[in-house]
C-alpha cells in the first residue's frame, strides 16, 4: 500500500511539475518576447484624471502619498485626487485637509464613506470623480513621478480599457521583508507576462487605471462586496467578460512603479495573506482558477515531499532536485522583474525562497478558507 501510494505521489509530482514549467514558461515568454504598444505619453497629456484612494487610519502614510501625487510628471491642473475615508479613528482627515490647504494643486477632496469597507469607500469616491481616466492606488503607497503619465498614455489609444501597474514592496531591510519583496516580484512578473500573452491573471489595487466609459459599462458592482479583498481582481475579470482578454494591459515601465510597504512582522503578513486567499471562493473565471490550481498543486507536491522525507530519508534527494527545478523555472522571470525594479540584489534569496514558499503557500491556502482574519482593525470570517 505504501509503495503504491509513493508511486502515485511521484506521478502527481511529475505532472504538477510539468504543468508548472509550462505555465511559468508562458509568462516568461510574454515578458521577454511580446512587445508593448508604443507609448505616446506626451501626446495624451490633455486627459482629465481622477486618482481615487480609500483610506482607513493612514495618518502615518497619507501625507507621503499626497506629496508623491503632487510631484507627478503630468499637468496637475488635469488631476483631481479624491480620498474616501473609511471611518478612520486617527487624524487621517485632518492631515489631508492640512495638505490641501498648503498645496492647492492638484485638486484634493476628502469624503467620508457611509458604508464600511474599502469597496464601499471607492464606490463613494467614484460617484464624485470627474476624470475621463480613473486611477486607483492605496493610501500607504508611493507612486513614481511618471505613474499618472505612464498609466494614462496606455489607455489613450482606445484598444485597452484597463491597465495594471507594477508594484514593489520597498523599503525591504530585514531578511523577512526582503523575502516578501522577492515573492511579490514573482507575482508582478507573472501578472505582466500573463497580460502580454492575452491571459490576464491578477491585478493589484495599489496601481490600477481604467477609462470612465468602460467602467460605466461594467458597473462597480463587479468589485464583489461580499469579500473584504479582491476589488482589483473581480473588476478585472468583469472587464475581461465585457471587453475580452486583450482589453487588459500592463505598464511595464520603471516610471509606473508604485511602492508599497512589506509587513514588518509575521502576524501582519499572515493576516494579509489570509485576506488575499479568502476572496478565492469568489473566483469563477478559468484564467485565474487553472493557473492558481497549478501553482498550488506543485507547491503541495514540494511540501508533501519534504514531509515524507523525514520518514523516508532518500526522498531528501528528490526534494532537493525539485527545489532546484523550481529555482531554474522561476529565475528568468524573476530576473526580468528585478531588472525593472532595480532590485537584482534580491535574487540572492531565490533559492531560500524556493525552500520556504511551498510550506507557507500550502498552509495559507488551506487556512485562508477556514480561518477568520483581521484587517484595518476589523474582523472577517472566511
DSSP state of 174: S
**226 band by pLDDT with thresholds 50, 70 and 90:** very low
Over 70: is that where the pLDDT of 38 sits? no
What pLDDT does 277 receive? Answer: 84
Angle CA 59–60–62, to nearest 5: 60
Specify which residues 209 forms β-bridges with.
135, 163
Element (H, E) at 111: strand 107-112
Question: Do 88 and 57 touch, CB atoms closer than 8 A?
Answer: yes
The residue that leads in pLDDT, 249 or 370, is 249
Question: Do 72 and 143 touch, CB atoms closer than 8 A?
Answer: yes
* Helix spans in the chain (H): 2-33, 62-70, 92-102, 118-128, 147-155, 175-196, 212-218, 231-243, 266-278, 286-309, 315-341, 350-367
Q: How many CB atoms lie within 10 A of CB 265?
A: 11
**11 band by pLDDT with thresholds 50, 70 and 90:** very high
* Rounded distance between C-alpha atoms, residue 262 and residue 178, angstroms: 8
DSSP 3-state of 259 = strand
Mean pLDDT of 206-234: 75
**224 band by pLDDT with thresholds 50, 70 and 90:** very low
- Domain positions in the chain: 2-31+284-380, 39-165+204-262
- Burial call 16-54: b when 16+ CB within 10 Å, e when fewer: bbebbbebbebbbebbeeeeeeebebeebbebbbbbbbb
The DSSP annotation for 116-156 comes to -SHHHHHHHHHHH---SEEEEEETT-EE-TTHHHHHHHHHT
What pLDDT does 259 receive? Answer: 97
Over 60: is that where the pLDDT of 188 sits? yes
**298 band by pLDDT with thresholds 50, 70 and 90:** very high
Burial class (CB in 10 A: 0-12, 13-18, 19+), 191: buried
Bridge-based pairing of strands 107-112 and 373-375 is unpaired
Mean pLDDT highest for which of 121-130, 134-143, 157-166? 134-143
The residue that leads in pLDDT, 218 or 337, is 337
* Rounded distance between C-alpha atoms, residue 17 and residue 302, angstroms: 9
Angle CA 340–249–207, to nearest 5: 65
* Rounded distance between C-alpha atoms, residue 338 and residue 208, angstroms: 21
Mean pLDDT of 66-95: 95
End-to-end CA distance of the chain: 36
Bridge-based pairing of strands 167-169 and 258-260 is parallel
Calculate the alpha carbon distances from 336 to 11, 126, 168, 257, 376 in Å.
Answer: 32, 35, 14, 14, 34
Question: Do 245 and 172 touch, CB atoms closer than 8 A?
Answer: no
* Rounded distance between C-alpha atoms, residue 121 and residue 114, angstroms: 8
Over 60: is that where the pLDDT of 84 sits? yes
Assign domain 39-165+204-262 to its CATH superfamily: Spore Coat Polysaccharide Biosynthesis Protein SpsA; Chain A (3.90.550.10)
Q: Which residue has the cell 531560500?
A: 352
Over 80: is that where the pLDDT of 310 sits? yes
Question: Do 218 and 141 touch, CB atoms closer than 8 A?
Answer: no
Confidence (pTM): 0.91
Sheet of strand 142-143, all strands in order from the earlier edge strand to the far edge: 142-143, 258-260, 167-169
- Give me 111's grid cell: 469624503
C-alpha torsion sign, points 315, 316, 320, 322: positive
Percent of the chain whose predicted confidence (pLDDT) is above 70: 93
Q: Alpha-carbon dihedral of residues 143, 147, 148, 153, nearest 10 degrees? A: -160
Question: Do 118 and 224 touch, CB atoms closer than 8 A?
Answer: no
Amino acid at each position: 500500500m505504501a509503495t503504491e501510494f509513493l508511486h502515485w505521489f511521484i506521478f502527481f509530482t511529475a505532472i504538477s511539475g510539468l504543468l508548472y514549467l509550462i505555465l511559468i514558461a508562458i509568462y516568461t515568454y510574454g515578458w521577454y518576447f511580446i512587445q508593448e504598444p508604443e507609448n505616446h505619453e506626451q501626446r495624451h497629456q490633455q486627459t482629465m484624471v481622477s486618482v481615487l484612494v480609500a483610506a482607513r487610519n493612514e495618518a502615518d502614510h497619507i501625507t507621503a502619498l499626497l506629496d508623491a501625487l503632487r510631484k507627478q510628471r503630468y499637468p496637475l491642473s488635469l488631476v483631481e485626487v479624491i480620498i474616501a475615508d473609511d471611518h478612520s479613528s486617527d487624524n487621517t482627515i485632518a492631515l489631508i485637509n492640512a495638505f490641501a490647504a498648503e498645496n492647492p494643486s492638484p485638486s484634493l477632496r476628502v469624503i467620508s464613506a457611509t458604508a464600511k469597507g474599502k469597496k464601499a469607500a471607492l464606490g463613494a469616491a467614484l460617484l464624485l470623480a470627474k476624470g475621463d481616466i480613473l486611477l486607483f492606488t492605496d493610501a500607504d503607497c508611493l507612486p513614481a513621478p511618471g505613474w499618472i503619465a505612464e498609466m494614462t498614455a496606455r489607455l489613450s489609444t482606445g484598444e485597452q480599457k484597463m491597465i495594471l501597474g507594477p508594484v514593489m514592496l520597498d523599503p525591504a531591510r530585514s531578511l523577512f521583508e526582503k523575502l516578501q519583496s522577492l515573492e511579490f516580484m514573482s507575482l508582478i512578473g507573472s501578472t505582466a507576462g500573463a497580460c502580454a500573452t492575452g491571459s490576464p491573471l491578477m491585478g493589484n489595487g495599489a496601481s490600477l487605471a481604467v477609462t470612465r466609459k468602460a467602467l460605466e459599462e461594467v458597473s462597480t458592482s463587479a468589485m464583489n462586496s461580499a469579500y473584504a479583498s479582491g476589488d482589483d481582481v473581480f473588476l478585472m475579470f468583469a472587464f475581461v467578460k465585457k471587453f475580452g482578454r486583450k482589453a487588459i494591459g500592463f505598464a511595464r515601465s520603471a516610471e509606473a512603479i508604485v511602492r508599497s510597504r512589506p509587513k514588518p512582522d509575521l502576524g501582519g503578513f499572515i493576516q494579509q495573506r489570509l485576506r488575499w486567499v479568502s476572496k478565492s471562493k469568489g473566483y469563477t473565471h478559468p484564467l485565474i482558477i487553472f493557473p492558481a490550481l497549478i501553482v498550488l498543486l506543485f507547491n503541495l507536491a514540494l511540501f508533501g515531499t519534504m514531509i515524507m522525507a523525514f520518514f523516508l530519508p532518500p526522498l531528501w534527494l528528490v526534494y532537493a532536485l525539485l527545489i532546484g527545478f523550481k529555482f531554474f523555472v522561476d529565475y528568468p522571470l524573476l530576473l526580468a522583474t528585478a531588472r525593472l525594479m532595480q532590485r537584482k540584489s534580491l535574487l540572492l534569496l531565490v533559492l531560500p525562497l524556493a525552500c520556504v514558499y511551498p510550506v507557507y503557500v500550502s498552509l495559507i491556502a488551506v487556512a485562508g478558507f477556514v480561518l477568520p482574519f483581521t484587517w484595518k482593525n476589523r474582523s472577517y470570517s472566511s
